[in-house]
Chains A and B, each alone.
Chain A
């Protein structure tokens, strides 16, 4: 493990797993090479199934001697007892306290890491998911701070020091949240004359942008940033406009009708919006009726399309409010 200490990204992943796994499971991770930890994006734990490590372009399974294989049939199966311990570490032995989060299918843990859960859904009388029982899968997404990742976008997203309202579009796992986080930092710190510092409010429904957890904010979001953590997006945006007078509001993964209403409300109040949404292209995003409303109202004046062609946060295109290409 000594070599691991020399690398922040690898160290980060290893210490996270040490925190979550019982010693007997963690021992298996000790021989995983530094290069894998540097690139690791997800670790998946499934009851009675192999442990899977996913990097940006490969998948590995763990053998019982700690070596990696791409053949899952030779991998070690995660025993129920060890899975239960990992689940209790994730929930701090308090499944009851994360029910609100479970309703959305994931739990945010210290450090802003997101743990997706799968099991048997329990529905309430309205047919909505109330919680999960018999949880059998945990998908740990390792959150990483990548300072400077937004720098390449500054010429296209800022004009005379002022930011454009910007929507980041991509399929899952292309780095939307990472880029959004860095944009928040860029605007909050500012860099005159290119970027005028601005008051930013982050509506962090999943506590992933800020890594807000148990009274701590894990990521540096700059000196002019306020965070409404675990707050529903639409409600949070309205609250922020009323009480925090932001120049920019930021939120992740918009999609619902009331998100659209809140964004239009913010834009009409003269507040800039940075947001992200799942879509493979601008056209694909516009095809959703509620999103078309945002487009036709020109709520966003820049659209950034991301992919993972050259790794997470690869910028494929930047569009203006009419959908025309903006030189990168």
Chain B
């Protein structure tokens, strides 16, 4: 019992620890995408593929999924939404953390470079905010969940004793 509640607590703590890191990876991905869009003018499918290849999992999986959908002739907007819907749940990030990426997805296929640049800048600023919020949540909750897991286990043992 102690082991399972401790595991549960540590699992929750791990999610709090991973979230800021994954948001940072997502921001890095968007910066890489910007490089390929603004300077390389590389077609979206190749640009997203390159981003996916240079990032760690699970964030890379979002981009791999986008490539998969684009190659199946989905529009960019559909591909981004599908990827977030299907891979998002396996990350520590929440729906709001993916919103900046989805905002890019909704315009990337139909916008010129200057418009896209503004959208990417705005997405990065929003992600910065999300990352700060995730770090604060980690600071508040990571230890709490670790202790809570152990203490809940101990409490249950005492009650049952």
Contacts and interface: CB of A to CB of B under 8 A. Distances in A.
B45 A122 contact: no
A92 B43 contact: yes
A91 to B, nearest CB: 7
A contacts with B: majority SS: helix
B41 A93 contact: no
Given A93-B108, A94-B109, A95-B112, A88 B41 contact: no
Interface in B100-138: 108-113, 116
Interface residues of A, number: 20
A130 B70 CA distance: 27
Contact of A96 (B45, B73, B75, B116): B116
B105 to A, nearest CB: 10
A291 to B, nearest CB: 34
Given A92-B45, A93-B76, A97-B43, A122 B112 contact: yes
A166 interface: no
A141 interface: no
Contacts of A220: none
Contact of A84 (B38, B44, B75): B75
Interface string B23-54: 00000000000000110011111010000000
B41 A99 contact: yes
Nearest to A81: B75
A94 B111 CA distance: 8
A231 interface: no
A229 to B, nearest CB: 15
Interface in B54-89: 70, 73, 75-76, 79
Interface in A192-235: 214
Contacts of A131: 112-113
B145 to A, nearest CB: 41
Nearest to A98: B41
Contacts of B73: 22, 89
Interface string A51-93: 0000000000000000000000000000000001101110111
A94 B112 contact: no
Given A97-B42, A100-B41, 8 more contacts: A92-B45, A93-B44, A93-B79, A94-B44, A96-B111, A96-B113, A97-B41, A131-B112
